[in-house]
Amino acid sequence: MSHVLVINSGSSSLKYSLLDMTREVELAGGLIERIGQPVSTVAHTVHTVASPGEPTPTILEARYEDDRPIADHDEAFAAMLALFAEHGPVLTEHRPVAVGHRVVHGGARFYAPTVVTPDVERQIGELSVLAPLHNPANLAGIVAARAVFDDVPHVVVFDTAFHQTLPPAAYTYAIDAQIAREHRVRRYGFHGTSHKYVSEHAAEFLGRANDSIRQLVFHLGNGASVTAVDRGRSVETSMGLTPLEGLVMGTRSGDIDPAALLHLSRRAGLGIDELDDLLNKRSGLLGLAGHNDMRDILAGADAGDEASRLAYDVYIHRLRAYAGAYIAQLGGVDVISFTAGVGENAVKVRADALATLGFVGVRIDPHRNAERAPGIRRISADDSAVDVLVVPTDEELEIARQTLSVI
């Protein structure tokens, strides 16, 4: 049996997943949130195969939750181990052969899953200048995990890696070239693990060779990005130097004239940290309508709340603009996929985002779009020139696959 433990360590959270990679199923997963605050929340879910002999075995789910103080990532790892020991699966019986780690920023240096060495750890730390909110937390998770699982390889999978195929014309910002080079200011792109997983699954589902089709992937969660994938390679993506650029997100602004920051600095006296906080944490849907959750925006708009209506319209307007631009970059499109919380669940967002693409032959089937079903599915009409799909993303599985591929 080959089990892989996947770790996603955020600044105040630890997400983990133990996967049985012979069957590619999750045995258990959990989320520890609000690390470092007076009360942290802990949730651990165990999946048990009730009828292992059957072709489609029944999976039973048991969930355990509690609240307690957890001071730092080392304590979070200890809590995770205690949860496995108490509720299962017992790690000595389901010993991981490797640990896979999500790391947000790999800069221009990392383009593939990489086995962790002291030098790799140092470079991830050094890349914190480009991702001060993410890389230090990712690194803390790696250090804590290596102390606990010291006899198996650890592998890092970067959010930026899939976008290392962007051509210079797509990743270069038109600013002073010397300054840009010196400070590594360019577009890197994020959500790469998800865009890779979704584009590959879409091709497989349709029975089409990935190296023969042009795809758009909309990853619409709390963070959101769209990627143009040309014959299996990311050639354009909406996030940039950081995950702030591009689409309207839950709390992030996405695109904004950079001079607006100069204006706010000069006229409103906002400092660098206040602007950072404004654009990353108090903008997007939250800034416009007071809610960062698309469900609240949709309900508000339905109930006649003007701010929710406007937030929704801005969100859709941006999606349409990016779809058009990326289809032009690709010279056409064969497949469009939606994934993540909004993309997988918000029927209206999918329909509205593509409503103006009739001129390239996109036709959504309203009944297929409205159907609620798990798994990958087609929502385009039979006579649509473009296949439109809902593809549930699985970043943990993708990280586990990539981890096994290099050990």
Residues lying near ligand ADP in the complex (CB under 6 A) are found at 221-223, 250, 293-295, 340-342, 345-346
Which residues, 6+ apart, have CB-to-CB distance to 272 below 8 Å? none
Instruction: Give the Cα separation of 104 and 53 in Å (integer).
Output: 39
Other CB atoms within a 10 A radius of the CB of residue 37 amount to 12
Which lies closer to ligand ADP via its Cβ, residue 128 or residue 345?
Answer: 345
Output the smallest distance, CB 102 to ligand ADP, in A: 11
44 closest CA partner among 91, 79, 8: 79
28 closest CA partner among 50, 61, 58: 61
Which lies closer to ligand ADP via its Cβ, residue 34 or residue 208?
Answer: 34
Residue reference for tokens 């790799």: 120
The set of catalytic residues is: 159
Which lies closer to ligand ADP via its Cβ, residue 145 or residue 248?
Answer: 248
* Residue-wise DSSP of 140-159: HHHHHHHHHSTTS-EEEEET
Which lies closer to ligand ADP via its Cβ, residue 74 or residue 293?
Answer: 293
293 closest CA partner among 250, 330, 352, 247: 250
Output the smallest distance, CB 68 to ligand ADP, in A: 23
Output the smallest distance, CB 250 to ligand ADP, in A: 5
Output the smallest distance, CB 391 to ligand ADP, in A: 13
Which lies closer to ligand ADP via its Cβ, residue 295 or residue 317?
Answer: 295
Which lies closer to ligand ADP via its Cβ, residue 68 or residue 295?
Answer: 295
Q: Are 253 and 287 in contact (CB under 8 A)?
A: yes
Dihedral, CA atoms, 216, 220, 224, 225, nearest 10 degrees? Answer: 0
Burial class from Cβ neighbours inside 10 Å (0-12, 13-18, 19+) for residue 276 reads: middle
Task: Provide the phi-psi class of 331: left if phi over 0, else alpha when psi is between -120 and 50, else beta.
Answer: left
Strand order in the sheet with 114-115: 59-68, 40-49, 25-33, 13-20, 3-9, 96-103, 154-158, 114-115
- Quick one: DSSP state of residue 61? E
Output the smallest distance, CB 225 to ligand ADP, in A: 10
Instruction: Give the Cα separation of 59 and 81 in Å (integer).
Output: 23
Instruction: Give the Cα separation of 140 and 371 in Å (integer).
Output: 42
Output the smallest distance, CB 220 to ligand ADP, in A: 7
Output the smallest distance, CB 350 to ligand ADP, in A: 10
Residue nearest to ligand ADP (CB): 341
CA of residue 363 relative to chain centroid, distance: 27
Which lies closer to ligand ADP via its Cβ, residue 18 or residue 346?
Answer: 346
